[in-house]
Structure 1
Amino acid sequence: MGILCLGASSTLLCGEDRNNVLGLGCGNELVEVGSGHDGLDSVVGAVFPVDTDEAVRALLEKETDHKPQDGYAERLERGGLEYSWRRDAMDWICKVHSYYRFGPLSLYLAVNYLDRFLSSYDLPHDKPWMRQLLSVACLALAVKMEETVLPLPVDLQVCDVKFEFEARTIGRMELLVLATLKWRMQAVTPFTFISYFLDKFNGGKPPSLALASRCTDIIIGTLKDHLRLPRPQL
């Protein structure tokens, strides 16, 4: 059985007609088990060391490969089902992120994957469970990219879930997300540039933890605005 639907009669085998969710089976999952972390240290000068103007320009060019398709923001601003799907997905991702105390990069990456997928792939309107499965898969991939210790993907299904999925099902959806995003998962984020700009504004002196924390709060606060999408920083 691919999916346990709480309050519904569907099974994932009902969803495998969607390209058979890539038509790939999953082997044993390799996942470290542990607890989350605050993650602030990981975003101060992390991901890519940025210390020159040339590096910043190169990263800004790379950033264009990790944004939603053109027209996606306008579609959301018009409202409708797609907007409500993204709002509900973001609300759930934020709750689970807080529950496990994952780092801020994990949250940003999960939403980045969600937006890029929704802008490129038409989810069926008559399969609400698939939207929740997408949220689980995006968060699971982000956690695998960023966290050093993490729960099993099936254990991410907390905080008022309507459907519950097996590990094999989540793995198949992860593969569909990976294929749709062309395996471009190491996204350039605003956190990439924190150390560079704080160094510029601070006269070359090491930034205080409070200042770095404030930058992180601003980025996450902007991300949680349901009508805003991650855009190029410059």
Structure 2
Amino acid sequence: MEFDLENPFTSFEEHQSDTLLDLFAIEYDHMPSHNFMQYLKITDFYVSLRQEAVSLVLQIQFSCNFEPFISYLAVTYLDRFISRQEIPQRKPWVPRLLAVSCISRTAKMKNTHFPISKFQGDQELIFDAQTIHQMELLILDALNWRMRSITPFSFLYLSRKILH
């Protein structure tokens, strides 16, 4: 069976009785750190960084005509990364590099072509492929290489299986 990022189980029949409980248990491992939301509330820098990065992720989604799952997963990676990694505050290019790198990593997970040059276009600061790749490696390292996140899309797949 082909790897399906949205469906974490390879065989529904094998896991039918415990699937929902397993999804909830696994989902917990792929969430931002416990104090992330409280940290966002008290730190204006992280709030604005996240807002800018999420806005860029959505711009990329619409300009590249990606399915919603890609932007959702990219934001999940972004949240998990900034909840575990200290971000330099005096570097205004960080949100853009994070957004591009999270989308790039997600596109690779979904075997979807991501035309980085198309998105960067006439921007003042253009990241080369090596810089994006290095940022992807930082993201992978911060997330302990656990990229097969449980998302609401996993539950949708499960509900479709149950209904049919």
**Shared fold by TM > 0.5?**
yes
Question: Contact 2:98/2:135 (CA < 8 Å) preserved in 1?
Answer: yes
**Aligned match of 2:125:** 163
| 1:48 aligned residue | 8
CA contact (8 A) 2:8 2:148 kept: no
Does the Cα contact within 8 Å between 1:111 and 1:138 map onto a contact in 2? yes
Runs of 5+ consecutive residues of structure 1 not aligned to the other structure: 1-41, 207-234
- Aligned pairs for 1:51-200 (under 5 A) are 52-78=16-42, 80-146=44-110, 148-157=111-120, 161-197=123-159
Give the 3 Å change call, closer, same or farther, for CA 57–190 of structure 1 in structure 2. Answer: same
Q: 1:183 to 1:153 in 2, by over 3 A?
A: farther
Q: Is the 8 A contact 1:133 1:170 kept in 2?
A: yes
1:155-198 C-alpha deviation (Å, 9 max, x unpaired)? 4425x845211111111111111111110001010110114335
3-state DSSP class of the match of 2:126?
Answer: strand
- Count of paired positions: 157
Return closer, same or farther for 1:141/1:127 CA change in 2, 3 Å cut-off.
same
Matched residues in 2 for 1:125 and 1:79: separation?
A: 11
Q: Mind listing any 5+ residue stretches in structure 2 that lack a counterpart?
A: none
- In 2, Cα distance between equivalents of 1:191 and 1:149: 17
Kept in 2: contact 1:136–1:170 (CA 8 A): yes
Deviations 1:20-42 (A, max 9, x none): xxxxxxxxxxxxxxxxxxxxxx8
Distance 1:151 1:197 in 2: 30
**Relative to 1, partners in 2 of residues 1:177 and 1:195: Cα closer, same or farther, differing over 3 Å?**
closer
State the TM-score, normalizing by the size of structure 2. 0.84
Q: Amino acid of the residue matched to residue 140 of structure 2?
A: L
CA distance in 2, matches of 1:59, 1:72: 22
Identity %: 32
- 8 Å CA contact 1:136–1:157 kept in 2: the answer is no
Cα deviations by residue, 1:110-141 (Å, 9 ceiling, x for unpaired)? 00110011001111111112232111111100
Contact 1:140 1:156 in 2 (8 A): no
User: In the TM superposition, what whole-angstrom CA distance separates every residue of 1:40-82 from its partner, at most 9, and x where no partner exists?
Assistant: xx89xx5235562401111211111111011111222345111
Which structure has more helix as a fraction of its residues? 2
Moved more, 105-114 or 68-77: 68-77
> Displacement, 1:100?
1.0
Would the aligned equivalents of 2:32 and 2:83 in 1 still touch at CA under 8 Å?
yes
The answer as to whether partners of 1:154 and 1:165 remain within 8 angstroms in 2 is no
CA RMSD of aligned residues (A): 2.3
